[in-house]
Structure 1
Amino acid sequence: MSIHRIAVSRHSVLPPIVPDSDKKFLDSIQRYIISEIEKVGCTEQGPAEEYYTIYRNVFDKIIEHVTAYKNILTSIKQEYDAFIEAIKKGQRNAFYLHGKLKVLASEPTTLVYYRKRTIQLEDKIKTIERNSARIQNLILKIRNIRKVPSTEALTPRKKINPAKPIPASAVSSISHIFEHDPSKSKEAEDLLEYIERFNELFSYGQYETAAVYAANCPRGILRNEETMMKFKALGAVKGRILPLLRYFEALISSSAAVRHPLCAAMTLEAIKCALSEKQLNLVMHWVTQQRLTFCEAAGDVIYDYGDVEPFNKSKCLALAQIAYNQCGMHKKAALCLCKQGQICGAMDYIQQFKNLSFDDYLFLLKNCPSIELIHCLTREWNGKPALLSIGATIFSLIDTDHKEHGLQLLKEIDMGEKNALEQVILNDTVCTLEGWKKIADTCAENKHEKLSQDIISILTSQEGVVQLSPLDDDDDAKIMEHVFL
C-alpha cells in the first residue's frame, strides 16, 4: 500500500454509534493497552517497538471480534505490518548511516557530503514519525468499527442515522480551502480532524460537549442546517435537556465571539425548539441579545405562542413586535402594539412608514377592531389627514365578524353634532354611493332602521341622484341604483 493511499484512507468517514457489546469490548481493549504499557514501562515518546507490539496484538483482537470485517481487516493489518516493517528498516538504515557518518567525519573530503546526508536522513526520520502517528490514528479509528445494517433494512423505516458522519457541506468547504490555496493543506487537515472529533463526541453520546464543539468550530463549518438536522434526528434523550436545544444555545451564545449570527432559517428552528420545551425566557434572552436574524415566520411562531400560554401573552406580543419590526413586517408589528393596548404607540409607529397600504390598515381593523383604533384611523393624527375614510372602514367591517364595531361608529356619528352623518357621507371620497347603500341595508338588517333611513335620506336628497326601479320583472329583486345625471 502506497503512502498516498494511506493518506486518502485517513479521510474515511466514521461508522454509526457503537452498541453496548462493542463498548464493553472496546473498554476491555483499552484496559489491556494501559496495563501492557505499564508492564513494559513505555513513555509517551517511546520506545516505539513496544508500542508497536502492543497495538499489533490489539489489532489482532479487534479482527477476531469484528467477524464481519475479518477479511478486510486482515488485509489492512498486513499492509500496516509491511509499512511498519519498512519504517523499521528505514530507522535501521538511518542508525547505520549515522554510525558510518561518525567514522567518515574525520575525512575532510567527505565531511560536507555527510553533513548534507545527515540533514536529509533527519528529515526522512521526521517524515517516518509523522506517518507512524497517522497509522496509530487509523488503528484508533478501527476501534469504532461495528457491523453496519444493510441499506435495504433501513430503507422501509426511513430513519436518520444520528451517527452518520456530517456534513457534506463541511467536507466541501475543506476541499474548497485546499483547492484554492494548496499552501493551506495543514488548515484543511486540521478542519477535517475537528469534524472527526465532533463525530466521535456525538457517537459516544456526549451531545452537550459536541454542541459546544460544533458551535465554536473554525470557519463555521459545523454551524449549519445539516449539523442541526443531526441533533434534531436524536429527538428527546431521557434524563437530559433536548440535544437540539443545547446546540442552539451553544450557537447563539458563541455567535458574538465567532461573528456569525444565526441565519433566518435556523433562527426560526431555534425559536420553535425553545418554545416546544416551554422556554419562553430563553427566547426572550436570545431576542434581547440581538444575535438572531428574524423572518416573518419567526414572528408568527412567537405571536401564536401567546395563545398557548395566555398568561405570557404580553411577553409574546412584545417579542413578536421586535421580530416583525426587524424583518420589515410593519403591519404585524403595529398589530402587536394594538393588541397590547398601545393604540397611540401603534399610530406613531404607522406614521413612520409611508409604504403601508389601505389593505394594511384594514388588516389592523379586522384583527384588532377596537373603537379607539377606528377613531384614530379615521381622524386626523398629529396634524396629518386620516388614514382611512369612515365609509370605507365601516364597509370593510360589515363584511367581517366585527360589523357591530362599524355600526357602533355610525351610531356615535349620528348621535353627535347636527348634520354630522351627512357631512361624513358627503365628504367621503372613497366609499361609493353603492357602498353606503349596502351600509344602510346592513343597518336595517340589524334592527337599526332609523340609522338606515337617515343614510338613505341623505343619499336620495343629493342633487343629481335619482332612485330607479328595477329594470326587470323579478319580484324578488329589490335593487336601488344611483345614477349621476
Structure 2
Amino acid sequence: MSEAQMSRSSRFTAGILTADSDQSFIQSLYEFMEHEKKCLQCPGEGPDELRYTVHRSAFSKVIGRATAYKRLLLAIKSEYDSTIRELQRREEEARAARLTVAASESRLKSLLTCERQAAHLRERISTLQRETAELQEEIEREKTSKEQSTWIPGLTVAESEDPEALGGYLKDMEAQRDALLDRKSHCVPLEVKTKLDAELQAAKRRRDELSAENNHLTVLYKRLRSVWDCLSSWEEEGQPVPLEELVGSTLENIREADGMDEDICSIKQLFEDQEPTRADASELVIDYLDRFLELFESAQYEDAALSAARAPRGVLRNIDTMEMFKGVEVLPGSLSPSFLFFWALLFTAGANGELSAPLSLQGVSCALQSGALQLVSYAVTHKKLTFTEELGDILTEHAQENPGVADLCLTLATIIYEACRLHRKAALSMCRRGLIHSAAEFLKHCKDLTAEDSMWVLCRSPSLSLLQLLTEPLQDSAAILSVGGACAALLADPQRRSVALQLLDSFVSQGRAKLVSTTKHSFNKGFRGSDRGGCRLLGGRVDPRGVSVLRAGAGRPEPGHPVHPAESERDQNRDPGPGGSPAHGARLPVKTRLEGRISPSHETTDRFW
C-alpha cells in the first residue's frame, strides 16, 4: 500500500476508529485489496469485473467484522450488487441489440446476393433452352437428309439389309455404350486427381508440422512436469533446502535428461499415458471406415483387408466385413478377398487374440478353398481361432474329399475335438489316420467315454484290429465291448458285417477253447459302461460245433442239435474233399456258415450268431 493511500485512509478513519485492532484491520484490508489487484492484473482505471470482485470481497470482510451497523452495511451491499447487476443486464441487452442489427444487415446482403444469382440462373436457363432448340432442329435435319451412303463396319451386305441382324447389332452397340457409360461414371478427370494429390501432400506436410510441434510440446511438458514434481516433493518434505538451490539442481537434471533423450520416440513412450491428446476416437473410426471403403471400392482388396484388420476397437473385425469380401467375384487363379481378410486377421491379432466362432468357420473354409492348409495349421496350433465342433467337422470333411492332405487335416481336427471335449470324435479321427492302437488306448483310459461311444467309433470306422482291441479283456477289468454286442451291431449293417465275421473266424481258427474262454469271460465279468446286451447275447451255451443261434434279449439259445463228443472228434479228423473243399459232413468256417444262414431280409438284431 502506498504512503498516499495510507495517509488518506488514516485521515478518513481517524474520527471513526478508536481501537488499534480496527486500525490494523483496515490496514490489512487495504493490503489485501492491493495484493488481489496485482494478482488479478486489474487495469488502473475504468470499470472492471475483477476490481468489482475484489471490492465486494473486501466489503464482505468489513460486514463480517461489524456488529452494530451490520444490517445497514448488508442493505448497502445488496443495493450495490443490484445496481451492478442492472448495469450488466443493460450492457447485455445493448450487445444483443447490436448483434441483431448486424444479423439483419447480413440477411439483407444475402437476399440481394440470392436475387442476383436467381437472375443469372434465369438467363442461363433461357440460353440453354435456345441451344437445345437449335440442336433439336439440327437433329431433325440430319434425320431428313439422304440415306447413309456407307455400309456399317463389321456387317456384310446381306446383314446390313436384314432387320433381325441390324436389331442384334443395335443391341450389341447399346450394350457397349452402357458399359462405356458405366465405366465413365466410375472415373474422374485427371485434373481432379491432380487436385486431390496436391491436397493430400498439403495434408501430409501439415501433419509433419503438427508432429514436430507435438514433439516440442512433449519435451516442454516433460520439463515442466519435472519441475512440478521437484517443487511438490520439496514442499511436502518441509523445504529442507533453499528454493534457489532446488531450482538450480532441477534445471541441471533437466539438461542432463535432454542430453540422454536424443530419440524423441523414447519421450513419447515415457509420456504416452500422461500426454493429453486431442484426437477424437469417433473421428478416427470414421476415417478408418472411409479409408476402408475407398480401398474396397477401388478393388485394392489386400490393402482393404489390412485396413479392416487394423481398425481401432475392432469395428471391422466381424462377420459382416467377411461377408462383404465373400461377395466379391475375382478371376480364377487369384486369391479370394475373403482369404486375404482372414490372413490379415490372423497376423494382426495379439498374442492372446482369438477370432470369433463365425469368423473362424468362414476363414478356415476360405483358406481350405484356396489351398492354404499351412495357414490353417498355424492358426490352430497357435490358438488363433475359437474351437468349435463345426470347425472340426469342416476339417474332417476336407480330409475325406482330399486324401493327399487327410493326415494333417485329421490331426488338426483331433486337436479341436480334444479342446472341445468331444472325445469320441477325437478317437474317430485317430482311427481314420490309422492310429488304431492309440485310439483304443484313448477309449480305454478316457473316463468320459462309455461303451456306446466306443461302439459309435467302431461303427463309423470298422476295422478288425480295433474290434479285437475293444473286445480284448483288460488285466484288471472286463473288455470295453462285449463280443456279442459288437458283432450284433456290426452284423446289422451289410457293409460292416465282414468285420464281425472276420473276428468270429479268428476265434474259430484259435480253437474251441479260445471261443469258450472268451464267451465265459464276457459272461462272468460283464462289460464296461452300459453295454449289458452283450452279456445276454452270449449268455447261452456254446455249441461245440461253433456258435449257437440266439435271440436278442432272450438269454438262451434256440433249440439246436445235440452233438456227441465223439462225433465232434470225427468231424475234426475228416479230410477235405477234392479241390480243397470240405467233404460231406466236414465243418465249414464260421463266416461261410453265417453267410449261409443270415439273409439280408432278416433283422440281425432279432436273429444272429
Change (3 A) 1:192 1:455: same
In the aligned structure 1, how far is the partner of 2:492 from the partner of 2:199?
86
Matched to 1:195, the amino acid is: L
Question: Aligned pair 1:272/2:365, yes or no?
Answer: yes
The correspondence of residues 103-182 of structure 1 with structure 2, limited to 5 A, is: none
Matched, 1:220 2:383: no
Question: In the TM superposition, what is the alpha-carbon distance from 1:373 to its structure 2 partner?
Answer: 0.8
Q: What is the deviation of 1:397?
A: 0.7
- Runs of 5+ unmatched residues, structure 2: 1-180, 207-276, 527-531, 561-601
- SS of corresponding position for 1:291: coil
The answer on whether the counterparts of 1:237 and 1:243 sit within 8 Å (CA) in structure 2 is: no
Partners of 1:395 and 1:423 in 2: CA distance: 19
Q: Which residue of 1 aligns with 2:533?
A: 431
Select 1:233's aligned residue among 317, 327, 337: 327
Q: Are 2:539 and 2:556, in contact at CA under 8 Å, matched by a contact in 1? A: no
Residue 236 of structure 1 aligns to a residue in which SS?
coil
For residues 332 and 298 of structure 2, the distance between their equivalents in structure 1, rounded to whole angstroms, comes to: 15
In structure 2, what is the Cα distance between the partners aligned to 1:243 and 1:280? 17
Asked whether 1:362 is paired with 2:455, we answer: yes
* Distance 1:319-1:33 versus aligned 2 partners, 3 A rule: closer
Tell me the equivalent position of 2:356: 263
Q: Is the 1:397–1:403 Cα contact (8 Å) retained in structure 2?
A: yes
Separation of aligned partners in 2, 1:192 and 1:370? 60
Residue 247 (1) aligns with residue 410 (2):
no
**Distance in 2 separating the partners of 1:399 and 1:251:** 49
**1:29 aligned partner, one-letter code:** V
Instruction: Describe the SS at the equivalent of 1:385.
Output: coil
RMSD: 4.1
Q: 1:30 aligns with which of 193, 196, 207?
A: 193
Q: CA deviation at 1:403?
A: 1.1
C-alpha separation between the residues in 2 aligned to 1:349 and 1:21? 66
Give me the whole-angstrom Cα distance separating, in 1, the residues matched to 2:324 and 2:461: 42
Instruction: List alignment gaps of at least 5 residues for structure 1.
Output: 1-17, 46-182, 441-449, 469-476
Alpha-carbon distance in 2 for matches of 1:34, 1:411: 84
Given that 1:268 and 1:294 are in contact with CA atoms closer than 8 Å, whether structure 2 keeps it comes out as: no
Partner of 2:11: none
Alpha-carbon contact 2:537-2:550 (below 8 Å) kept: no
2:419 corresponds, among 326, 331, 334, to 326
Q: Residue 546 of structure 2 aligns to a residue in which SS?
A: helix
TM-score by length of 1: 0.54
| Matched residue count | 303
Alpha-carbon distance in 2 for matches of 1:377, 1:271: 35
Q: Which moved more, 1:292-301 or 1:388-397?
A: 292-301
Deviations 1:318-352 (A, max 9, x none): 12212222222211111121222222211232344
* Cα distance in 2, alignment partners of residues 201 and 330 from structure 1: 45
Say whether residues 1:297 and 2:399 are aligned partners. no
How far apart are 1:25 and its partner, in Å?
Answer: 2.1
Moved more, 315-324 or 385-394: 315-324
CA distance in 1, matches of 2:311, 2:498: 59
Cα distance between partner residues in 2 of 1:241 and 1:333: 32
Letter in 2 for 1:431: G
1:255 is matched by which residue type in structure 2? Answer: A
Q: Deviations over 1:261-297 (max 9, x none)?
A: 1122211111111111222222223222221112222
- Residue aligning to 1:454: 546
* Paired residues of 2:548 and 2:558 also in contact (CA < 8 A): no
Report matched runs for 1:21-60 at 5 Å: 21-31=184-194
C-alpha contact (below 8 Å) 1:306/1:317 kept by paired residues: yes
Q: Does 1:286 align with 2:388?
A: no
Q: What CA distance in whole angstroms lies between the structure 1 residues aligned with 2:204 and 2:440? A: 76
**Bigger radius of gyration:** 2
Q: Could you tell me which residue of structure 1 aligns to residue 267 of structure 2?
A: none
Q: Please give the alpha-carbon distance, in whole angstroms, between the structure 2 residues aligned to 1:357 and 1:240.
A: 48
TM-score normalised by structure 2 residue count: 0.44
3-state SS of paired residue (1:419) = helix
Answer 1 or 2: higher relative contact order, Cα 8 Å, separation at least 6: 1
Q: Structure 1, residues 332-379: CA drift from partner, whole Å, max 9, x if none?
A: 111121222222211232344322232221122112222211111112
**Structural mapping, 1:78-89, within 5 Å:** none
